Amino acid sequence: MSQDLELGLYVFVLATFLGLEIIRRVSPLLHTPLMSLTNAISAITIVGSILVAGEQKTTLSTVLGSIAVACSMINIVGGYLITYRMLRMFRKSGKNRP
Amino acid sequence: MIDRAIPLLYLGAAVSFILALKWLSAVPTARRGVIVGAAGMALAVAGTLLKPEIESYRWIAVAFVAGTVIGVPMAMMPMTAVPQRTALSHAFGALAAALVGTAEFYLKAPAIDRFTMGALALEVLLGFLTFTASLMAFGKLQEILPPRPITWKSQNLLNFTLLGLAAASGAYLVARPEAAWLFPVFGALALAFGVMLVIPIGGADMPTVISLLNSYAGLSAAAMGFVLNNKLLIIAGALDGSSGFILSVIMCRAMNRSFTNVLFGAFGQAQASAGASGERRAARSATPEEAAGILHVASRVIVVPGYGMAVAQAQHKVRELYDVLTKAGVDVRFAIHPVAGRMPGHMNVLLAEANIPYDRLVEMEDVNSDFPQADVALVIGANDVTNPAARHDRNSPIYGMPILDVDKARTVMVIKRSMSPGFAGIENELYYLDRTLMVFGDAKSVVGNIVKEFAGGT
């Protein structure tokens, strides 16, 4: 096993356990915002997309990369915005929404 | 110089994502979580744009603009459309991962090591299957496609064959990356499997399926992290994967079903046995005026909203009802079943949108002990999650599913279009109880009329 792979697997396993612990604590009240936020976070695929689109190695890779950048960007912009919008709607009794 | 800073930016992004999810756990800190998450993403994008490998920014800039132009309207969709929107964004996320994987394959193969190829195959497989599966889910939720489960006899055999062929061609590519001709076949098999996976799935199972697709999209991003040897992608993908996994487990538990049962056991098949049972009994019906009269003498009311409320867009009328009842000194709370609606937490955002305070929304485990003390349980557009058969009828397809014990309230009022059975095609014996009153009609207008009668009577 190469060192990169070994390290990558450690990171993956630890991040998964951390994720399970954190997400378990999220109130069911917020499960919809949770899903739209994790959806926005998984748009981290933009990192790979930018590299493929920007390296300009072949036409095919540039085209596929650019489409991927656009798709990821949709989720980044849309995901964070709608999560914020949703959370602004949650208010406690006796307080009116600003 | 800049090369040294990029890993630090990525580390900052990873920390932000973790904090974002941690702060999302409760309403008071949740908005801070979103801002930190967005800041983390900005760090990640900035770090990537600074990489020396990037030759030209032209197409990246074009794609940024295109993504923003599509992304902003998608964030402005009404809350009733959130399940569709979520399915669609899973499709975009998965497509991005799959396309990057495809591009990487044609850039690197055949000089690609086994391990990288394995991660790449996983990324492409999960990416493409999640892409089409999410599009199918979107189509069903938007009702472009028939939302009922579509099943036939050898369906599972076909699905397993497709998945098996996709896995086999992926494995072959790992062993022999020079077989580039096989790659399009591999991608096509993954795309086809995604379509077939969602065809037998009905609306009631959507919460589980959307959660599962959320998880797959995350895992495919993590696989991309292994291909590119990028720890940030691995961390973000793992967080997303575990989140989707937990949500699917919660959804399955709330329906007392297993993963395999949701994916391969199509609910629609239960219909035949359930429809025949039970003699014709009469249900009592009431007018909105009578309903308002009952609410007048009530002091504790528990509202049980379901998907029907979302379909009728009745949440704002429900808020009006909440307002007049609260003003009259009635204690009103909302009982939320985990699978009410079409995605996890669906009812909560709808009611929050209608400006109902979130401390009035109570989860199933906390509210069930309160039904015996409630004067009225008002069921609006919920069906199977209130069926007492789940507690005692061993022959019922929903036997064992945790339900809201609305039948224990002194009076049960059900607002429903007609007596037709719910999504699972199961008759709800709640409707035939002596204490149950059916108020027939469209949820929005019925609730509106109750509000009118209630306000007029005081």
pLDDT beyond 70 at B194:
yes
Rg (CA), chain B: 25
Say what the pLDDT of residue B261 is: 75
Say what the pLDDT of residue B4 is: 84
Tally of CA atoms within 13 A in the half-sphere of B209 that contains its CB: 37
For residue A36, the chain B residues in CB contact (below 8 A) are 82, 86, 89
Residues B7-31, mean pLDDT to the nearest whole number: 95
Whether residue A84 lies inside any domain: the answer is: yes
Whether residue A3 lies inside any domain: the answer is: no
C-alpha distances in angstroms, B38 versus B45, B63, B83, B414? 11, 19, 22, 43
B27–A30 CB contact, under 8 Å: yes
Closest residue, chain B, to A77 (C-alpha):
B71
- Residue A28: asked if its preceding bond is cis (omega within 30°), the reply is no
Of the ranges A60-64, B257-261, B418-422, B441-445, which one carries the lowest mean pLDDT score? B418-422
Among A91-95, B82-86, B275-279, B454-458, which range has the highest average pLDDT? B82-86
> In total, how many domains does chain B have?
3
Whether residue B82 lies inside any domain: the answer is: no
Give helix B2-23 / helix B231-254 axis angle, nearest 10°. Answer: 20
Cα–Cα nearest to B20, from A69, A33, A37, A72: A37
Whether residue B95 lies inside any domain: the answer is: yes
Residue A1: band (very low, low, confident or very high) from pLDDT cuts 50, 70, 90: low
Domain range for A38 is 29-89
**pLDDT digit string, tens, across residues B39-56:** 999 999 999 999 998 989
- Give ∠ CA B339-B412-B401 in degrees, rounded to 5: 30
Whether residue B270 lies inside any domain: the answer is: no
Cα–Cα nearest to B227, from B113, B352, B339: B113
Q: Find out whether B96 and B70 touch, Cβ atoms under 8 Å.
A: no
List the CATH number of the domain containing B293. 3.40.50.1220
**Is residue B370 annotated as a catalytic residue, yes or no?**
no
Residue B267: band (very low, low, confident or very high) from pLDDT cuts 50, 70, 90: very low
CA B231/CA A2 separation, integer angstroms: 15
pLDDT beyond 90 at B262:
no
C-alpha distances in angstroms, B186 versus A62, A90, A95? 21, 45, 55
Percent of chain B at pLDDT exceeding 70: 94
Residues B342, B255 within the same domain: no
For A76, the closest of B41, B246, B361 (CB atoms) is B41
Q: Which of B240, B384, B405, B407 is catalytic?
A: B384
Question: What amino acid occupies position B58?
Answer: R
Residue B338 CA from chain centroid, whole number? 10
Residues B61, B100 within the same domain: no
A42–B218 CB contact, under 8 Å: yes
Residues B219, B95 within the same domain: yes
Closest residue, chain A, to B90 (C-alpha):
A39
For residue B174, the chain A residues in CB contact (below 8 A) are none
pLDDT beyond 90 at B421:
no
Token pair of B393 as six digits: 């009828």
Domain range for B245 is 91-265
Whether residue A66 lies inside any domain: the answer is: yes
Q: Are strands B436-440 and B331-336 parallel, antiparallel or unpaired?
A: unpaired
**pLDDT digit string, tens, across residues B82-115:** 999 999 999 999 999 999 999 999 998 888 899 9
Query: How many contacts (CB atoms, under 8 Å) link A and B?
Result: 377
> In total, how many domains does chain A have?
1
Q: Find out whether B61 and B55 touch, Cβ atoms under 8 Å.
A: no
Whether residue B84 lies inside any domain: the answer is: no
Residues B22, B109 within the same domain: no
Residues B292-312, mean pLDDT to the nearest whole number: 92
For chain B, what's the residue count?
458
Our CA-based measurement puts residue B113 at a distance from the nearest CA of chain A, in whole angstroms, of 11
Our CA-based measurement puts residue A98 at a distance from the nearest CA of chain B, in whole angstroms, of 11
Grouping H, G, I as helix, E, B as strand and the rest as coil, residue B50 is coil
> Would you say the C-alpha torsion B222, B223, B226, B229 has a positive or negative sign?
negative
Token pair of B63 as six digits: 């794609």
Cα–Cα nearest to B443, from B417, B422, B409: B417
Residues B361, B428 within the same domain: yes
Q: Are strands B411-416 and B376-380 parallel, antiparallel or unpaired?
A: parallel
CA B53/CA A50 separation, integer angstroms: 10
